[in-house]
């Protein structure tokens, strides 16, 4: 099994964060340089079937992409600490919050970077209106997390779960366009400081 | 347990499609009229915690939103036919394709409708560039599904899974802005006809 990773991109960061939370350090990791197009070579396409990073290649040659699918699969191999849920109800609540974190905040923030950061013009035909619209969407959505984090130490449960990792990775990536959590959101601010204090924070960057 | 549903919106459609594939017809279903703002009343917000539809209210009062999380939870109650995977590898491949269907095609198509259809101006500050950008993104992404469906009868496995339901619901919703599968994509065209021929197709609309 091996993992294709890329240090600067937001989706691979989720998997690195997840592995760090699990304490997994024996996985073969291969770095892919997106800026020089290593994910678009015929060799990468042939092995992965897509140009996406991260990708997990299983021992039978199956290529998995999509960070959350990769992490859920890895949880089956490394079950503790549990980040995806212990029973159907717990799993559903974690998936609900993971999706909210991703769809309402992390993805808009990634789009804001992709359409708004000069260095990414090489990867995207940038549309300023798309950058602005996504940034506003993320700011509005963070209010939902501020409310939740006023009631709960972590986003989806009484422990860190995948939902925390997805929101955290999205916010850290958005520093590229100088996005900051609004001061009017004390609970997200408290939670972000707690996420940055964890050992897994070093897996980012 | 009861399900808040809304007949015209795309995310509730996924859950209706899922229930129809499962043959579940004994779930209490309550219709919510988005156009008159029934999802924004104090009562709905108090019970669901969000203004999102669909929402599944469990017997202990837990409110689940997010269509895919709702469906995965329902699969724990109604396991057959299996739509989310039987083991870790099967589950990962289905989640990967479900995410591709959602993030690369269904969500862009929904955004194209939300930002492009006059009737939805009541729900959204519409930005024409956002509509156009999303429509182009969806068209490009369908090529990935056309390639896949040239190799496989269904998107994620040798049977219908959640991935098929997500792409199917997204394409059907996009008829509101007269989106059509390009003629150059014979495999998606064949698959769409097969999806429309299933009994579950009647759960849409």
Q: Which of A73, A129, A130 sits opposite B88 (nearest CB)?
A: A73
**pLDDT the model gives residue B141:** 94
- CB contact (8 A) between residue B89 and residue A58: yes
Q: How many Cβ contacts (< 8 angstroms) between chains A and B?
A: 73
Q: Which of A66, A91, A130 sits opposite B95 (nearest CB)?
A: A66
Distance CA A155, CA A152 (A): 7
Instruction: Tell me which chain A residue has its CA closest to the CA of residue B79.
Output: A88
pTM metric for this prediction: 0.94
Region A104-114 average pLDDT: 93
Distance CA B139, CA B178 (A): 13
**pLDDT the model gives residue B84:** 98
Q: How confident is the model at residue B123 (pLDDT cuts 50, 70, 90)?
A: confident
Region B147-153 average pLDDT: 97
Place of tokens 């039978």: A60
Q: Tell me how far apart the terminal alpha carbons of chain B are, to the nearest angstrom.
A: 24
Q: Where do the CATH 3.40.30.10 domains begin and end in chain A?
A: 2-77
Q: Is the pLDDT of residue B60 over 70?
A: yes
- CB contact (8 A) between residue B92 and residue A64: yes
Q: Which of B88, B95, B104 to mutate to test the interface with A (most CBs of A within 10 A)?
A: B95
**pLDDT the model gives residue A123:** 77
Q: What percent of chain A has pLDDT over 90?
A: 83
Residue-wise pLDDT for B160-204, tens only, equals 999 999 999 999 999 988 899 999 999 999 999 999 999 999 876
Fold of A88-203: Glutathione S-transferase Yfyf (Class Pi); Chain A, domain 2 (1.20.1050)
Distance CA B19, CA B165 (A): 11
Place of tokens 């309402």: A104
- For residue A196, the distance in angstroms to the closest alpha carbon of chain B comes to 28
Structure tokens at A122: 């090489």
List A3's β-bridge partners, or say none.
Answer: A29, A56
Place of tokens 């194209």: B112
Q: What average pLDDT does chain A have?
A: 94
Distance CA B183, CA A136 (A): 37
B133 contacts in A (CB within 8 Å)?
Answer: 127, 130
> CB atoms < 10 A from the CB of A133, how many?
22
Q: Is the pLDDT of residue B118 over 90?
A: no
Q: Which of B76, B96, B130 sits opposite A65 (nearest CB)?
A: B96
Do A116 and A135 touch, CB atoms closer than 8 A? Answer: yes
Query: CATH homologous superfamily for B2-77?
Result: Glutaredoxin (3.40.30.10)
Residue B3, classed as helix, strand or coil, is: strand
Residue B64, classed as helix, strand or coil, is: strand
Q: Is the pLDDT of residue B49 over 70?
A: yes
Do B74 and B64 touch, CB atoms closer than 8 A? Answer: no
- For residue A146, the distance in angstroms to the closest alpha carbon of chain B comes to 13
Region B41-68 average pLDDT: 97
Q: Which of A74, A94, A95 to mutate to test the interface with B (most CBs of B within 10 A)?
A: A95
B65 contacts in A (CB within 8 Å)?
Answer: 96, 100
Region A153-175 average pLDDT: 96
Do A99 and A161 touch, CB atoms closer than 8 A? Answer: no
**pLDDT the model gives residue A187:** 98
Distances (CA, A) of B161 to A9, A98, B155, B156, B166: 30, 21, 8, 7, 9
Q: What percent of chain B has pLDDT over 90?
A: 82
- CB contact (8 A) between residue B65 and residue A107: no
Region A14-28 average pLDDT: 96
Buried b (16+ CB within 10 A) or exposed e, A160-190: bbbbbbbbbbbbbbbebbebebeeebebbbe
Residue-wise pLDDT for A87-106, tens only, equals 999 999 999 999 999 999 99
B91 contacts in A (CB within 8 Å)?
Answer: 72-73
Q: Where do the CATH 1.20.1050.10 domains begin and end in chain B?
A: 88-203
**pLDDT the model gives residue A121:** 84
């Amino acid at each position: 099994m091996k993992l294709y990773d890329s240090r600067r991109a937001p989706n691979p960061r989720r998997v690195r964060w997840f592995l760090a939370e699990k304490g997994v350090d024996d996985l073969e990791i291969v770095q892919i340089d997106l800026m020089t197009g290593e994910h678009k070579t015929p060799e990468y396409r042939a092995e992965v079937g897509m140009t996406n990073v991260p990708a997990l290649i299983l021992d039978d040659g199956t290529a998995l992409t999509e960070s959350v699918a990769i992490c859920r699969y890895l949880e089956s191999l490394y079950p503790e600490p549990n980040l995806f849920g212990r029973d159907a109800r717990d799993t559903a609540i974690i998936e609900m919050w993971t999706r909210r974190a991703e769809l309402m905040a992390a993805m808009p923030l990634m789009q804001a970077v992709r359409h708004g950061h000069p260095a990414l013009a090489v990867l995207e035909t940038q549309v300023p209106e798309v950058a602005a619209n996504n940034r506003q969407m993320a700011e509005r959505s963070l209010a939902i997390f501020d409310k939740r984090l006023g009631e709960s130490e972590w986003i989806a449960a009484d422990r860190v779960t995948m939902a925390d990792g997805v929101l955290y990775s999205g916010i850290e990536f958005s520093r590229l366009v100088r996005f900051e959590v609004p001061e009017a959101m004390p609970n997200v601010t408290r939670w972000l400081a707690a996420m940055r204090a964890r050992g897994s924070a070093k897996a980012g960057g």
